[in-house]
Chains A and B, each alone.
Chain A
């Protein structure tokens, strides 16, 4: 089998036509993110990707479930942990890997690094200040509203961002003008090493906080991609017809350390037991269970893995061989024309 350069979409279309096609597209998208992240983890020790990386392994279902419910013209804002969101929204893999390598072919030409993945053609922007993207996501909703467009805006953020003042400011304003915004809280229980228990009172209820602002809110298993997709679809349909914002709290878990490519359970901030309980709920495994009885699935996984690996090898080879940006580009893009 030969990989068609820079295009995973034709293969993805093929997957969609298979029996259980929608589920298999979810699987393909999640597997692609997983394999990209694992490849980064594998060769990060070469020290050629000289920027911090926040891997999304374990959290693929939130990205894939949400983004599959969006159109290309919808916008999505993400955080420091943005690889999965970028890829799920349709970001170019070569541009992403090149950016991690600091190369001129990167999506920011080497000026952003892993925490600033961007592609305006698919409405995707990531910035790493916790909470900062939430009001920007709301503003995109305002812009759509002002121009009578039917696009929607998604703001991805973590549980820690809900502790920022700007989170409440954003809920309040989005509700005030019934803006087409979907707030996606990926609750992975930790802000770096700090667990929820040292940050929020046990009785704090995010759903009630959102509802108190007039934002419809639902809790959902963030490792169940189908549940995430269905919940998002509903919120998107509501937003698209002008019925206002929604918030989804998606419970999930990152498998790697906060920043970097190691496993860090030995540090003691989370238990092996907790880690294993989440490993048992691995989003890929959970989706595979839904496909038990599909005789061809295991064979298809193998084919998916092969084609994804070809794409990944191609992207890494491209990034590695690309040049660093020229010195002169340090002084470009200070101001837009």
Chain B
């Protein structure tokens, strides 16, 4: 029987189950016990586990990341949460110098179980410092694991895996995913970190996506189907370690590759995937691979600008059409013009945050 819940609820369930099972698991973040509960992902935890295990904290991102690291050395399993990825930038010293290096630099004598949740904002004019998608920065660092689940099912399974992992895991949640719903089993289950999911099987083109772009990629695939094109959609789920084999297997089958990334083009994950494919499966490619990304400019605020800034299904659709030598279409021609404003994920989203 299906059990349909929101992505945010799937996350709070995962954290709750892990805290119930293991006394050493705790979560801290500025606003963890807020009435809004971190966009619904920490609701009820403080009532159930008390102030020390569902802990509010001072606005000291770097210091508190060091505190989390220190507590891990005594056997605790901390989860750190940041309302925005940008706030966590203050903690990159501890994340990159310390957490990421810890196990390796001490010759394997000590490990660093640590989950750091960061939210990627978008829409409602959040602008240059509340809507950046900086995953490539973290995925660049050896020793970190970086996961970006797109579905409620994967969110829960990956959160449980992240909490149980003995390494620092950067857990990236796109704000436009917290309210999506999907089937989520009630009990504990795990999605392996570093393993992609074939979200849709197809034979003509491979669309690789992760996080929010999976939604756009699946929509694009549906539209392409009507045009007689059978697209395979790979939801990476993790961007470090990267499931290279799943990508290569698919490209060897389809010969065509589009990578949809909600971040900037230069130095990004999309480029990395294309480079890997060229190195390992160049002979299988029947056309130039394509990156669908943000333009290499900061994230603007105005809805007048963001509508051109964020790529969406139509960009994916047209890159596929062009790659296959077909005529590109407009959203009007395809009858996929979004009726609600483009700066919100759905009607329920009324801002301001």
Give the docked Cα–Cα distance between A170 and B106 (Å).
24
* Residue contact A149 to B70, C-beta cutoff 8 Å: no
Residue of A nearest to B78 (CB): A139
Give the docked Cα–Cα distance between A116 and B68 (Å).
20
Give the docked Cα–Cα distance between A125 and B99 (Å).
13
Q: B65, B142, B166: which contacts A336 (Cβ < 8 A)?
A: B166
Interface stretch of the complex, out of A13-21, A102-110, A246-254, A282-290 = A102-110
* Residue contact B66 to A135, C-beta cutoff 8 Å: yes
Interface string of B278-310 (1 = CB under 8 A from A): 000000000000000000000000000000000
* Residue contact A336 to B167, C-beta cutoff 8 Å: yes
* Residue contact B67 to A138, C-beta cutoff 8 Å: yes
Shortest CB-to-CB span from B144 to chain A, Å, is: 10
* Residue contact B166 to A129, C-beta cutoff 8 Å: no
Give the docked Cα–Cα distance between A137 and B67 (Å).
7
Q: Is A35 an interface residue (CB 8 A)?
A: no
* Residue contact B108 to A110, C-beta cutoff 8 Å: no
Question: Interface extent on B, as a size class?
Answer: 35 or more
Q: B75, B105, B106: which contacts A143 (Cβ < 8 A)?
A: B75
Give the docked Cα–Cα distance between A337 and B167 (Å).
8
Q: Which residues of B have CB within 8 Å of A132?
A: 66, 93-94, 97-98
Q: Is B203 an interface residue (CB 8 A)?
A: no
Q: B53, B70, B111: which contacts A138 (Cβ < 8 A)?
A: B70
Give the docked Cα–Cα distance between A107 and B72 (Å).
20
* Residue contact A336 to B112, C-beta cutoff 8 Å: yes
Give the docked Cα–Cα distance between A183 and B97 (Å).
21
* Residue contact A336 to B70, C-beta cutoff 8 Å: no
* Residue contact B58 to A334, C-beta cutoff 8 Å: no
In the complex, which residues 54-78 of chain B have their Cβ closer than 8 Å to any Cβ of chain A? 57-58, 60, 62-76
* Residue contact A108 to B60, C-beta cutoff 8 Å: no
In the complex, which residues 20-39 of chain B have their Cβ closer than 8 Å to any Cβ of chain A? 24, 26
Shortest CB-to-CB span from B67 to chain A, Å, is: 4
Q: Which residues of A have CB within 8 Å of B58?
A: 169, 172-173, 176
The verdict on A110 contacting B107 (CB below 8 Å), with A135-B63, A173-B58, A336-B166 known, is: yes
Give the docked Cα–Cα distance between A106 and B105 (Å).
12
Q: Is B83 an interface residue (CB 8 A)?
A: no
Shortest CB-to-CB span from A114 to chain B, Å, is: 12
Give the docked Cα–Cα distance between A166 and B72 (Å).
19
Q: Is A324 an interface residue (CB 8 A)?
A: no
Q: Is A142 an interface residue (CB 8 A)?
A: yes
* Residue contact A127 to B73, C-beta cutoff 8 Å: no
Give the docked Cα–Cα distance between A125 and B72 (Å).
13
Centre residue among A127, A139, A172, A333 by max chain B CB count within 10 A: A139
* Residue contact B26 to A336, C-beta cutoff 8 Å: no
In the complex, which residues 202-240 of chain A have their Cβ closer than 8 Å to any Cβ of chain B? none
Q: Is B268 an interface residue (CB 8 A)?
A: no
Q: Is A335 an interface residue (CB 8 A)?
A: yes
Interface string of A141-175 (1 = CB under 8 A from B): 11110110100010000000000011001101100
* Residue contact B104 to A333, C-beta cutoff 8 Å: yes
* Residue contact B107 to A106, C-beta cutoff 8 Å: yes
Interface string of B104-121 (1 = CB under 8 A from A): 111111111100000000
The verdict on A135 contacting B94 (CB below 8 Å), with A146-B26, A169-B64, A173-B60 known, is: yes
Q: What are 16 of the A-B contact pairs (CB < 8 Å)? A: A106-B107, A127-B105, A136-B67, A136-B98, A138-B66, A143-B74, A143-B75, A153-B70, A169-B58, A170-B66, A176-B58, A333-B107, A334-B103, A335-B166, A335-B167, A336-B113
Given contacts A118-B107, A135-B63, A147-B24, 14 further A-B contacts (CB under 8 A): A106-B107, A111-B105, A118-B106, A125-B73, A127-B105, A129-B93, A129-B97, A135-B67, A137-B70, A142-B76, A147-B74, A173-B57, A335-B143, A335-B166
Q: Which residues of A contact B (CB under 8 A)?
A: 75, 77, 106-112, 116, 118-120, 123, 125, 127, 129, 132-144, 146-147, 149, 153, 165-166, 169-170, 172-173, 176, 332-337
